[in-house]
Amino acid sequence: MRKIASRNAALTLAAAVTGTVSAFALATAPAQAAPAEATSLYAPSALVLTVTDGDSAAAAAKRAVTLNCTPAPSGTHPAADTACAQLRAADGNFTALASEEGRLCTREWQPVTVTAQGVWQGERVDFARTWANPCVKGVEGAAVFSF
């Protein structure tokens, strides 16, 4: 009977040591990061638009605005609603923006460069274009670049 009691004591001691080691290992294990969760139902659409005098996008910007189109138009753009509507109609293609029909411009060379950088519907955007003068920019750049 003594042999059985001593064997049970050894098993109890082994279980206690194993439990203590397991608890210690769990307490000192590194915390696991929670899986990333989407913060919005919409793909982001946030842009920084600039206007620069001259034919180089590398020059210092004369004006700059922000334009956020998702989930609702916002930002510092003076006509965010119209600009977002025009970009949606062009499916985010800046070269396909609708122009003002019937507006005439002079042929003077006073170049104006615009840029758009950021994200449109989850895709990276890096656009730059130079127009001959501010009038042409106003006609072909639609409301997106009118600020």
The predicted pLDDT at position 78 comes to 95
* 102-129 per-position pLDDT tens digit: 678 888 999 999 999 999 988 999 999 9
* Mean pLDDT (whole number) for 32-48: 65
Of 90, 107, 98, the closest CA to residue 138 belongs to 98
DSSP string, 55-74: S-TTSPPSEEEEEE-SSS-B
The predicted pLDDT at position 126 comes to 95
The predicted pLDDT at position 80 comes to 95
Count of domains for the chain: 1
The predicted pLDDT at position 3 comes to 52
Does residue 2 form part of some domain?
Answer: no
**pLDDT for residue 100 is more than 70:** no
Q: Which domain holds residue 102?
A: 46-145
Does residue 34 form part of some domain?
Answer: no
Where residue 70 sits, what CATH number does that domain have? 3.30.350.10
The predicted pLDDT at position 75 comes to 94
Give the tokens for residue 23: 């608890």
